[in-house]
Amino acid sequence: MINFIKYRKIYFIFSAFLVLGSLFCLTFFGLKFGIDFTGGTVLELQFADARPQVSEIKQSLSSFNLGEAIIQPSGQKGVLIRTGNLSQDMSQKIIQALKERWKLDEKQFKSRTVGPSISKELRQKTRIVTALAVLAILLYITYAFRKLTYPVKSWQYALAAIFALFHDVLIPTGIFSLLGKFYGVPFTIPIVTALLTVFGYSINDSVVVFDRIRENLLTRKGQTFEETVNKSLNQTLARSFNTSFTTLLVLFAIFFFGGETLRYFSLTLIIGIASGTYSSIFLTSPILVSWLKKKGKI
């Protein structure tokens, strides 16, 4: 049996390094927000024949200096081009450049502008959704473990899970801060969607371990809380590893073969799920043990 609790201080130091590093990046580098958050122009095109590769479209538009333009497939023959604010004249020049190489369905051409007010509203809604998700998780865990009052109260389980959630979301966000600073990778709505998905994975992993701790606490005989927690972690280790491993295999396949549109969405999930698996084993439960030791209850 692996003694997870024995080396918990090492896990805490490692996690503190990752969290502080992420906070440093976010404080000094910030996030390179995409068009969804900053505003810009979206061009929607339909090709009459087979849609060319995204790399070919980028090559055709390279002379326009569109910056961090996002080009993504839409439907069977369509494509969306998201870029900074464009004048009508510039939009027509882009269309003309594409028409010189491919036949376009001109009836399907659409252009719209995402204004700063809409972008501000998106940022505000993102914060609200995040806050509501955290509150819902806190209430759910407190309610689900309400029958556990000794040696750890249900709200303490909830706080440990929220800390792990903060850890699991902050790390990929910090990495995207670095990617935005040095590689120009934009922080977009799909990445926010992936982070909200990480919320679910992180909490699910923590609840699985907590549920096993609850079962073992109700049937323990002569075991300390630390021993019960360690036993529970060993019992759930295979499940946590196997679930995350199979999920990561799929995500790596999407990352390498899913195209540019899904690359950073899948990367967010890869980092977040790996972090969630780590925190559910090495952080949440050891935090409870350290908490009780500090209070002198075990």
In one-letter notation, the amino acid at residue 254 is I
Token pair of 73 as six digits? 């497939």
pLDDT digits (tens, 9 = 90+) for 50-65: 888 888 888 888 888 7
Superfamily of domain 5-34+117-295: Multidrug efflux transporter AcrB transmembrane domain (1.20.1640.10)
Q: Is the pLDDT reported for residue 176 higher than 90?
A: yes
**Of 216, 219, 221, the residue nearest 233 (C-alpha):** 216
* pLDDT for res 117: 54
* pLDDT for res 116: 61
Residues of the chain with CATH 1.20.1640.10: 5-34+117-295
CATH 3.30.70.3400 given to domain 40-114? yes
Q: Tell me which long-range contacts 153-161 makes (C-beta under 8 A, separation of at least 24).
A: 156/288, 156/291, 157/210, 157/288, 160/206, 160/283, 160/284, 160/285, 160/287, 160/288, 160/291, 161/137, 161/202, 161/203, 161/206, 161/207, 161/210, 161/284
- Between residues 285 and 118, the one the model is more confident about: 285
Residues of the chain with CATH 3.30.70.3400: 40-114
Phi, psi for 70 (deg, rounded to 5): -110, 120
pLDDT digits (tens, 9 = 90+) for 63-120: 887 776 778 888 788 888 888 888 888 888 888 888 888 888 877 788 887 766 556 7
